[in-house]
């Protein structure tokens, strides 16, 4: 799976649901190894509900001095 923000690699991760948004003690989500964007069931449901994925944002280049 690729990240919708930067096109990077998404890895599956287990998360704890402390506020009980998903009706489960823990759930599976995805995190981008490049930019850190997270996609979980609540975020995916909200994006489906509004019917649009956010447009990718340009990644600013870091220049070391």
3-state per-residue secondary structure call for 4-65:
CCCCCEEEEEEEECCCCCCCCCEEEEEEECCCCCEECHHHHHHHHHHCCCCCCCCCCCCCCC
Strand order in the sheet with 10-16: 10-16, 26-32, 38-39
Q: What is the pLDDT of residues 48-65, one digit of tens each?
A: 887 655 555 565 665 666
pTM, entire model: 0.58
Q: What is the pLDDT of residues 23-44, one digit of tens each?
A: 667 778 899 999 999 998 778 8
């Amino acid at each position: 799976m690729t990240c919708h923000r930067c096109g990077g690699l998404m890895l599956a991760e287990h998360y704890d649901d402390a506020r009980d948004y998903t009706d489960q003690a823990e759930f599976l989500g995805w995190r981008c190894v490049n930019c850190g964007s997270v996609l979980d069931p609540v975020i995916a449901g909200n994006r489906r509900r509004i019917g649009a994925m956010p447009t990718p944002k340009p990644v600013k280049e870091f220049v070391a001095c």
